[in-house]
Amino acid sequence: MIYTVTLNTALDRILHIKGKIERKKNNRVCGIQYDIGGKGTHVSLVLSALKIPNIATGFVGKNKKDQFIQLLERKGVNCDFVVQNNATVRETLVLLDSTGEGSLMITEPGFQPTIESIQRLHQKLSQQVQPGDWVVFAGSPPEGFSPDDYRELLQCVKENGGRLVVDTSGPYLETAIQLRPYLIKPNEYEFQQMVGRTLSTVEEYTGEIEQLMAEGIKYVIVSLGERGSLVGHNGEVFQVIAPSIEARNDTGCGDVFVGGIVAMLSRKADLEEALCFATALSASKATHTSSSSFSLEQTRQLEKQVRIMRRESVCCTLKSVKTCAKSQG
């Protein structure tokens, strides 16, 4: 079974703005969309779209729970959240204007989980996670949820023999690293923050990725937005070049990428196949204005444009360039 854990669930309100967004101006809304937010939930949406069994869990506020759960269940996601009374699902504002220069995201902090809610989630994972299950922790934990609280949940998964996938940032990512997760997927900014220095060349990233692999993390993935990703596995580092597309909303691309990787690896695909699919899926998401939509048909077409290069750590030249010629079955 695959579990996705979203500790700070969100409802995204996507505002389409007429013209270019400017300060000190009345920026007029010409359209509104609602979608799922929170990151782990996006992974579940990908898995369910591929008919891969999964359970979406984490914390959800009683207020707006129905709207939140409906959005997930309408797309076939099996939900098992800890519902907290006197709490409201936070809202994320995603502003899109006509420039196509990317979204502006404004996120509320979200409610603070009570000790009782944390214990209920811990109990859920402790009782349900079996050896070999995948457990994806994606998104930033809410205020008041400490790195120690985070560690306890991750430790519980490891003790049950679960495969830990972590997509988070700051002290939570540093906490996760100490537990040798199976797969991490920070973006370039989160990765640089974690290693504590600015990385400006692929060679510099490669060195840090190799270090983390040597410390026991099976998959070290650094997402680079529309430029693709750098991926370390089994001592090798790959540079993945994403297909060029006309992006309409970059929100959720990284989360959909994680969903694609987990979907493929959990079905025993080889890494390059998984990277081709996940990168194309993420590119497809970018062409949609919502936070979580993508097209599997468009993904199959985009896969053919994904390029994967294996980098040699010593001279860091491009040793093999592979395009994903075969489309995803």
Nearer to ligand TA6, 124 or 285 (CB): 285
- Judged by CB under 6 A, the stretch of 19-27, 34-42, 144-152, 206-214 that binds ligand TA6 is 34-42
State how far the alpha carbon of 85 is from the alpha carbons of 64, 80, 114, 194, 306, in Å. Answer: 11, 16, 10, 35, 46
Determine phi and psi for 88, rounding to 5 degrees: -125, 140
- Is there binding between residue 266 and ligand TA6 (CB under 6 A)? no
Report the distance separating Cα 56 and Cα 73, nearest Å. Answer: 10
Q: Give the Cα separation of 259 and 45 in Å (integer).
A: 8
Report how far residue 271's alpha carbon sits from residue 261's, in angstroms, rounded to the nearest whole number: 8
Note whether 140 binds ligand TA6 by CB under 6 A: yes
Scored b (16 or more CB within 10 A) or e, 292-324 reads bbbeeebbbebbebbbbbebeeeebeeeeeeeb
Closest contact distance (angstroms) between CB of 167 and ligand TA6 is 9
Among 2, 3, 5, 8, binds ligand TA6 (CB under 6 A): 8
Based on the shown chain and the rule CB under 6 A, indicate whether residue 249 belongs to the binding site for ligand TA6: no
Token pair listed for 97 = 């204007």
Q: CA dist 320 to 130, 238, 309, Å?
A: 38, 10, 5
Among 279, 291, 293, 299, binds ligand TA6 (CB under 6 A): 291
- Distance CA(312)–CA(253), nearest Å, equals 28
* Closer to ligand TA6 by Cβ: residue 39 or 124: 39
The minimum distance between CB 213 and ligand TA6, in angstroms, equals 25
Q: How far is the CB of 161 from ligand TA6 (least distance, A)?
A: 27
Cβ 130 to ligand TA6, closest distance in Å? Answer: 27
Least distance from C-beta 92 to ligand TA6, angstroms? 4
Cβ of residue 293: shortest distance to ligand TA6, in angstroms? 12
* Residue 223 contacts ligand TA6 per CB under 6 A: no
Return the range that interacts with ligand TA6 (CB under 6 A); candidates 144-152, 210-218, 248-256, 278-286: 248-256
Residue 102: Cβ within 10 Å count? 17
CB 42 within 8 A of CB 167: no
Residues in binding contact with ligand TA6, number by CB under 6 A: 15
Q: Which residues here bind ligand TA6, judged by CB under 6 A?
A: 8, 10, 12, 37-39, 92, 107, 139-140, 251-252, 254-255, 291
